Amino acid sequence: MNESDRLKTMVREKYAAIALQSKEQNETSCCGAASCDGIDYSIFSENYTHLEGYNAEADLGLGCGLPTESAMIKEGDTVIDLGSGAGNDCFVARSLTGETGEVIGIDMTPSMIEKAKQNAEKLGFSNVKFRLGDIENMPITSNKADVIISNCVLNLVPDKAKAFSEIYRVLKPGGHLSVSDVVLKGELPEALKEAAELYAGCVSGAIPLDEYLQIMENANLSNIKIQKQKAVRLPDELLLQYLDEKEVSAFHSGGTGIFSITVYAEKAVVSCGCCDC
């Protein structure tokens, strides 16, 4: 098994366990969004309860932003959510697209897809669909989406360049994305980079902000801008599971920053002038 497949298997297994639990269990158990010592991995998450379309059963506390709040979704839009989990962001997006729109969630964990479908059925939504698939190779036709959203998922994708290339392919010309994710300023210590639990917890899979934005630009996305940014401090109790006290002190004083961001970008409309494309 290559490294990419190993990471995907690890994430799939982690989130399969999370899918079987409630948000409250995920925040306090070994198999959820927290470690066995009760370290809360949901330190990145935001409060959704004020948003129209919020459904508590679909909220597992796994995000790091509110991408739907910044995504400028309009009635009738086709919206694709990457790493849709139990459907939380999809249901908020559906409240904005209305009955004339379409919302498609993509997730690589079968138990998450099943949970999301059950939630959609309970809500009676016929225009919210969930598909099992890989963000690096989406089961979506080209030029499909008016808007793509994602919440703390792209940092888990091993080949981020391929993921953003797929995002570009799937967006309609003139379409846009608004994704929340975790990025770095500086370098994580090797012990943190190598921690499997921190990868699944959206820490060690993060890359520097400048590199993240460059990958988006290399994928031909344009008008890239950061809509929101929030610094996140990892608690010492978590760091001490991987570093000694001197290393923790050096980490805090070394200038490394971990940030939750929401970033916007567009797929430009190609103008052909007087000639056929």
Three-state DSSP string of 190-234: HHHHCCHHHHHCCCCCCCEHHHHHHHHHHCCCEEEEEEEEEEECC
What is the pTM for the complete model shown?
0.88
CATH of domain 42-266: 3.40.50.150
**Least confident interval from 32-36, 208-212, 242-246:** 32-36
pLDDT, tens digit, 9 for 90 and up, residues 102-147? 999 999 999 999 999 999 999 999 999 999 999 999 999 999 999 9
Number of H helices, E strands in the chain: 11, 7
| Mean pLDDT along residues 225-235 | 90
What are the residue ranges spanned by the domains of the chain? Answer: 42-266
| Mean pLDDT along residues 144-160 | 94
Query: What pLDDT is recorded for position 262?
Result: 97
| Mean pLDDT along residues 257-277 | 82
**Phi, psi of 173, rounded to the nearest 5 degrees:** -55, 125
